[in-house]
Structure 1
C-alpha cells in the first residue's frame, strides 16, 4: 500500500510545473519571495542563501532562519527549510538545508555557500550542494552538485541578477527515473520609490518551459510590508505581508495555483546584530 501511495505522489510531482519533478527540494524559499510571485534571484536578503548565493554578500551580521511551505494544503508536499549566514573577513559563509516530502518519501538538499562583494555594485556566490532522497521500498540517491549566482547594481535603483543550479546535470531520481534538472534564472530588481520595490525573473528548467514571475513590495509603515505577485506558467497569484521586529523578521505568504489550489508559507529570521541587505 505504501509503495502505491509513494508512486502516486511521485507521479503527481511529475505533473506539477511548480515542482522540479526529479528533485523538489530546490526552488524559491522564504515567505517574502513567496508573496512576490516567487521571484527571488535579484533579492539580497537572508533567504538568498537558498535562492541566489550572491545575495548574501551584503550581510553584516550572523543570522539564522526557518521557513515552512505547505504546497496545495498537502503535508506530503511540504517544504521545510533552514539556513545560517556568517560574515567573515572576506565575504560571507552560508549553510542551508531543505527537506521536501514526508516520512515515507522525502528529498533533502544541504548547501554550503560562499559569497563575496567584489565592489559596491558587484556580488558573486558559489554553493556546493548535497542532494539525497529516501523512499520506503525504493533505493534512494545521493548526488553532489553546485550552483552559482551573480548580482550587479546598474545604478542605485536598478539591478540585474542570474543564477544556475546543477549546471553539470548531475544525478537521476531512482523513483521517477528522471534527471535532476538544470535550472537557470535571470532577473531584475527596481526601486520605483523609497517605499515601492519591484522584482521580476524568468526561470528555465530543463524539465519545463520558461516561467515568468513578477512581484511588488510596498512599505505600508516603517516596519510593515505588503506584497503581491504573479507567476505566468503555471498561473499563480500570490500575496503576503512582513513585519520587521528588530532582530526578528516575520513573513507570511499565500498563493493560489490555477489548477491545484492554495500554497501557504511562513518564514522567520533572527539577526544576532543589526541586519544587512535589503
Structure 2
C-alpha cells in the first residue's frame, strides 16, 4: 500500500506520497532479545523529480547482527508507480568478523480501478554474495499482492511471497476502520508458518501508532510496534 513503510515492503509505494514522513519501528520475536529488530525510515517528496527515502535497521545481538542503510526512489506515472532501492548490508558474527554486500531491488504498483491496487516487488535482484564459502548470499525474494477497498472503512489484502530457496508463502489480511477512521482493527494469516496476527492502528492528526501481535504454535509470540509522523505542507 502507498505509505511510509512501503520504503521497506515495496519502494514503488512511496511514489504517491505528497508529504514528508518519518517513522520508527521495533519488533521482538519469540521473547528472545537476539531476535529483535529496530528501524528508522524517512520519505521526502518532490514535485517534479520523484520521492526519495532513506531507511536504517539493525537485527540481532553481540553474537550475530545485521545492519543496513538504504536509499530508495519512487515515481508516479499516471495510475502507476515505479521504484528502485539500494541497500548496503553488514553482517557481523562474533569470532568471524563482518561482511558487506549491496542489494538492488525494484517494484511497481498500480491502482487498477478506484479502490483496487496491485503491487509487485523483487528484492536483491543481483543476488548479492556475502561469502565464497557455500556460496552464501543475501536472500532473493519476489512477491506480488492485491488490495481491495470495497468501501471506505474496509480493506482486504492478499499476497504471495517467494524466497528462491524456499516454498511460496501466501498471506492474507483484513483491516476495518472505527471511530471516524482514527482506530483500525487488523488481522492476518501466513500459510508458510501457520502464523496468525492481530493488530491495532491509531491516528491522532499527523501521528500514527500501529501495533501487531503474532503467534505460532511452536515458537511463541512476537510483538511489533511502529510510530510515524506526517509533516504538513
For the criterion TM > 0.5, the same-fold answer is yes
Moved over 6 A (4+): 174-177
| Backbone CA RMSD of aligned residues | 1.5
Alignment of 1:77-116 (within 5 A): 77-89=35-47, 90-116=49-75
- Select the structure with the greater relative contact order (CA < 8 A; seq sep ≥ 6): 1
The structural deviation recorded for 1:173 is 5.4
Paired residue total: 231
The structural deviation recorded for 1:147 is 0.6
| Structure with the bigger percentage of strand | 2
Does 2:31 match 1:73?
A: yes
Farther off after superposition, 230-239 or 254-263: 254-263
The structural deviation recorded for 1:245 is 0.8
Deviation string, structure 1 residues 147-198 (Cα, Å, up to 9, x no partner):
1110011100211110001111111358986322210001001012211001
Q: Normalised by the size of structure 1, how large is the TM-score? A: 0.80
Contact 1:138–1:175, Cα closer than 8 Å, also in 2 = no
Does 2:85 match 1:130?
A: no
Secondary structure in 2 matching 1:50: helix
The structural deviation recorded for 1:246 is 0.8
The structural deviation recorded for 1:139 is 2.4
The structural deviation recorded for 1:88 is 1.3
Aligned to 1:262: 221
Secondary structure in 1 matching 2:14: helix
Aligned to 2:121: 163
The structural deviation recorded for 1:61 is 1.2
Secondary structure in 2 matching 1:44: coil
Secondary structure in 1 matching 2:40: strand
Structure 1 gaps, min length 5: 1-42
Structure 2 gaps, min length 5: none
Aligned to 1:143: 101
Distance (whole Å) between structure 2 residues aligned to residue 173 and residue 68 of structure 1: 29
Distance (whole Å) between structure 2 residues aligned to residue 262 and residue 173 of structure 1: 32
The structural deviation recorded for 1:98 is 1.4
Aligned to 1:248: 207
Distance (whole Å) between structure 1 residues aligned to residue 168 and residue 145 of structure 2: 13
The structural deviation recorded for 1:63 is 1.1
Farther off after superposition, 133-142 or 241-250: 133-142
Distance (whole Å) between structure 1 residues aligned to residue 214 and residue 132 of structure 2: 30
Pick the aligned partner of 2:183 from 224, 231, 243: 224
Contact 2:66–2:90, Cα closer than 8 Å, also in 1 = yes
| Structure with the bigger percentage of helix | 1
Contact 1:140–1:174, Cα closer than 8 Å, also in 2 = no
Aligned to 2:156: 198
Aligned to 1:182: 140
The structural deviation recorded for 1:117 is 0.3
Distance 1:180 1:219, change over 3 A: same
